[in-house]
Structure 1
Amino acid sequence: MTAASTQDLLNQAWFGIIGLMLVLYVVTDGFDLGVGILTLLRRKESDRDLMIQSIGHVWDANETWLVALGGALFGAFPSAYAMILSDLYVPVMFLIASFIMRGAAIEFRHAAHTSKLVWDRVFGIGSLLAAISQGIVLGKILTGFVPGLSSLGFVAVTAIGVVSGYCLLGATWVVKKTSGAIQSSARRHATVAVFTTVAAALVVSFATFKLSPVGVTRWQEHGVFHLLIALAILAALAFVYVLYSIRMHGEHSPFVGSTLLFVISFAGLAISLFPYIVPGKLTVDAAASDSPTLTFMLFGIGMVFPIMIGYNLYQYHLFRGKVVPVKH
């Protein structure tokens, strides 16, 4: 194997690894952000207690995937890291501020001796701000940081789509973890969220084809569009499955269907982006570090990845089942 082919293989491997980290982050932290957003709709403190209790043992560990993602992007694709962070300084700062709000709120609400409403609102607003910030980041990257009203509208739709998608994950998580009236309410929220999420995804897909450098180049390559059509069919089946499982009062299946919908969508996104890491501006090959760096990082991630995945699986297994109100 030549040095060039080794470099290409490493570049593609790290593109896939970073994509996998992104999926793991979006699904795991997505549902707890969604739960946080949905607490803004609950008036009863006992309902908010139960919802926050459902994510209390896992939410902070979920965010470790974002830390790992940032470190991997910095090491594997430093040029992309520099371009993305410099162009997205404001939304990234808002994202960090929202995480600080969430972390502070979830701790201080436990210490509150009277009403927890203020800290619950801070937690909910922080969750909403985090989702909006991530939607802005996604929209900006897909448009290649091109300014203009059309790009601004595109970014607005991606932000709405991310918020709605996280609400879908959060609502189906609440369905899985609770019972009674709060579960019934979560089913209604999930039904609305799955429609708004799919609607936003359709608008973003059409706009990507018309406005984004992705649509101009990658989607017109031989075989790519047909593969995306196949993924769209799978996404449609996942959408139907979510609705069916909600209607049939499934408890675990709505969350499984929502997760599948996200994974399929991100597979389509990864296929659309490749070989660009910033559409129209920076390819994977141009942004990648040299072979020794990527090889060294590959050994490192090979040791860390199983630990992170194993810990996540263990905590979900340990805290499986329904949450019950804590008696004070």
Structure 2
Amino acid sequence: MVFDLAFIWAGLIAFAVLVYVILDGFDLGIGIVFPFARNEGERDLMMNTVAPVWDGNETWLVLGGGGLFAVFPLAYAVVMPALYMPITLMLLALVFRGVSFEYRWRTHRWKHVWDKAFIGGSLVAALCQGIALGALVQGIEVENRAYAGGWFDWLTPFSILTGFAVVVGYALLGATWLVMKTEGEIHDRMQGHSRVLGIATLVLIGVVSVATPFLEPVYFSRWFSLPGSAWSLCVPILMLGLAWSFFTALARGRDTQPFLSALGFFVVSFIGIGISFYPMMVPPSLTIWQAAAPDSSLAFALVGALVLVPLILAYTAYAYWVFRGKIDPSEGYH
């Protein structure tokens, strides 16, 4: 039996990116909805809900970026120059955010400064991730196996739209996470914010989805002709089902279901991007197999991945299991 190592690695990279978005999305979302806290006690509570797990979430970003460099070096060499500015700003924002997370507990006089750094870092990181996604979706100009575009090709109305959509979507994840993890006044207030953010997220997903097929002819063909249209039709159907689940759960006071439904919005959107992209690694011209390293390198790296990925998954699942349930401001988790 012959394994398509490039295809397997493309799946692993996609999986790592999706897990990062799912896990760090609500984490960044906490920072985006941080201004909605009414006092220092609520801000402390919001941060405590993610304190046990936040740093482990970014493991998947390292895995996705490092894996891309190791097994798809041509894609890495093209994408990095094209998205150098938003990726650099994102990493700097994550650094500021991580430092503020640790330092705000160790000072009273400067706590408000670190709170602002936490908000700003979360907002800029989410915005840059969305802009980078939009720039990748709209296509990267490649000539002679190298990036052939300009310094600011990543900055377009579409990439700004996707950046704003990711910010709103992450805010939704943060709000629904707080609905799931808190009780009392902040819980009730975040329920209201979740409704508004849920509507905004779905509207933005719809706008981005309508615009995407017109960016590249291959996208239009994939979405509106067989057999691709058979797969693409599943996306709006699944999204409608998730929207019903989301708003019904909020109305009935089911605290966990809105968060899971909001995660579903991202998973289904990711599937939609995959339908548009495959088999391209860097749209519109660089395929998975053109960008891949030699099979010997792919096989060598895969051995390590088959050991590390299950370990990371097991550790992550264990951490979330240990810190499951609601968090009490005075007693911690219960």
User: Which TM-score band applies after superposition, normalised by the shorter structure?
Assistant: over 0.9
Indicate yes or no: 2:269 matched with 1:265.
yes
Greater mean alpha carbon deviation, residues 107-116 or residues 276-285: 107-116
Tell me the equivalent position of 2:131.
Answer: 136
Give identity over the alignment, percent. Answer: 39
- Structure 1, unpaired ranges of 5+: none
Tell me the equivalent position of 2:318.
Answer: 314
State the shift of 1:170 in Å: 0.7
Deviations 1:2-59 (A, max 9, x none): xxx64xx112111111111111000000001001110022231111110011001111
The 8 Å contact of residues 134 and 159 in structure 2, kept in 1 or not, is answered as yes
Indicate how the Cα distance of structure 1 residues 213 and 58 shifts in structure 2: closer, same or farther if over 3 A, else same.
farther
- Secondary structure at 1:40's aligned position in 2? helix
Deviations 1:58-106 (A, max 9, x none): 1110001000101111111111111111111110110111111111101
The 8 Å contact of residues 142 and 214 in structure 1, kept in 2 or not, is answered as no
For 1:289 and 1:149, how far apart are their aligned partners in 2? 27
- Structure 2, unpaired ranges of 5+: 142-149
1:83 to 62, 74, 78: 78
Tell me the equivalent position of 2:187.
Answer: 183
Deviations 1:162-181 (A, max 9, x none): 01111111111000100111
1:206 to 203, 210, 215: 210
Deviations 1:268-297 (A, max 9, x none): 211210111111131111101111111111
- Secondary structure at 1:13's aligned position in 2? helix
For 1:119 and 1:213, how far apart are their aligned partners in 2? 46
- Secondary structure at 1:280's aligned position in 2? coil
For 2:86 and 2:127, how far apart are their aligned partners in 1? 9
Tell me the equivalent position of 1:12.
Answer: 7
Indicate yes or no: 2:277 matched with 1:288.
no
Normalization by structure 2: what TM-score?
A: 0.92
- Secondary structure at 2:281's aligned position in 1? strand
Deviations 1:174-223 (A, max 9, x none): 00100111011111111111111111111111111112355245335531
Indicate how the Cα distance of structure 1 residues 170 and 158 shifts in structure 2: closer, same or farther if over 3 A, else same.
same
State the shift of 1:248 in Å: 0.8
Indicate yes or no: 2:72 matched with 1:57.
no
Tell me the equivalent position of 2:145.
Answer: none
- Aligned-CA RMSD value: 1.9
For 1:144 and 1:134, how far apart are their aligned partners in 2? 16
In structure 2, what residue type is equivalent to 1:186?
Answer: M
State the 4+ residue runs in structure 1 displaced beyond 6 angstroms.
Answer: 146-151
State the shift of 1:113 in Å: 2.9
Normalization by structure 1: what TM-score?
A: 0.93
